[in-house]
Amino acid sequence: MVSFKAGINLGGWISQYKDFSKTHFDTFITEKDIKTIAESGFDHVRVPFDYPIIESDDNVGKYKEEGLFYIDRCLEWCKKYNLGLLLDMHHAPGYRFQDLKTNTLFEDPSQQKRFVEIWTFLTKRYIDEREHIAFELLNEIVEPDSVRWNKLMLECIKAIREIDPTRWLYIGGNNYNSPDELKNLADIEDDYIVYNFHFYNPFFFTHQKAHWSESAMAYNRAVKYPGQYEGIETFVKENPKYDFMMEVNNLQLNKELLRKDLKSAIEFREKKKCKLYCGEFGVIALSDIESRVKWHEDYVSLLEEYDIGGAVWNYKDMDFEIYDGEGKPISKELINILTRKKV
């Protein structure tokens, strides 16, 4: 089995794409990109995909070879360059983490059936590719609690295990894969499960001035790491609806804060005796490069200390780019940190 220790996400390709077109899918990620990632020192890629790539709503159960081709080809490239591939369903039938008001997956049995059937189909398709490809069932669940996700997740795992008892499956918890929610996942007795969380703390640093976050745009300040948030009291006084931000007033943004925020995941592993993985972490490219490098250095050193694999968000584009459009790293020092050559 290839290693899933130091990875990078391929967001924006067959998930969260700006353009649903053959031209985009053919050109956004090519063999050259996979070769660059491997030669940089990464050992795997996390590949988010949206279900419309492989199945149309008006032709349920008929899977599209023209879309599956991109997963197949990426897998062949990964095998060529000895990379692992974590296949992550980012947009499922009836569920998108960006469209919480319109989601129907956890209420609609027909959508749940589709979800399970997609994964059983993919399990059969890649039955002989256990060495290089693992499955992440669903990205960033957001529910009032974990009850409905636990039910669907267990059903999906059962269906997969009837076909493939030893496929590595990655399972994330509620509240956007929060480390704090791992403890609320159903207990699973399975030696081939990895528990997945995401880490973007402290939020108003990693997401400073993020255009999709109302609160980040309202605060609208450059934040350095290490350091602290500036002007919180004045901001809250002028914007009372963000009074929750007083909790971060005078907060020291440093490695010990990251360690504290990681603590619940470590406690979960100690109790469960399981494998952990951080499927997404990173800092928005609007941050100054020195702060980005230092945050990643501190966080990756914690992943190393606690023996946790992970994949940085994101290879290129998507506001968190690690490489530019030409495939050149924005910082060689950052690449060395992310590939764990320097931690």
Annotated catalytic residues are: 140, 280
Buried b (16+ CB within 10 A) or exposed e, 218-252: ebeeebbbeebbeebeebbeeeeeeeebeebeeee
**Integer Cα distance of 343 and 339 in angstroms:** 9
**Integer Cα distance of 57 and 190 in angstroms:** 33
310 neighbors 303 (Cβ within 8 angstroms) = yes
What secondary structure does DSSP assign to 11-64, as a single string? TTSBSS-S--SHHHHHHSS-HHHHHHHHHHT--EEEEEEEGGGTB-TTSTT-B-
**Integer Cα distance of 252 and 224 in angstroms:** 11
Fill in the DSSP letter of residue 314: -
**Integer Cα distance of 265 and 172 in angstroms:** 11
Distance between first and last Cα of the chain? 24
C-alpha distances in angstroms, 247 versus 96, 202, 229, 250, 339? 29, 12, 11, 9, 34
From the CA atom positions of the chain, what is the Rg in Å? 20
Residue at token pair 């996942």: 185
C-alpha distances in angstroms, 73 versus 30, 69, 85? 9, 6, 11
**Integer Cα distance of 113 and 95 in angstroms:** 13
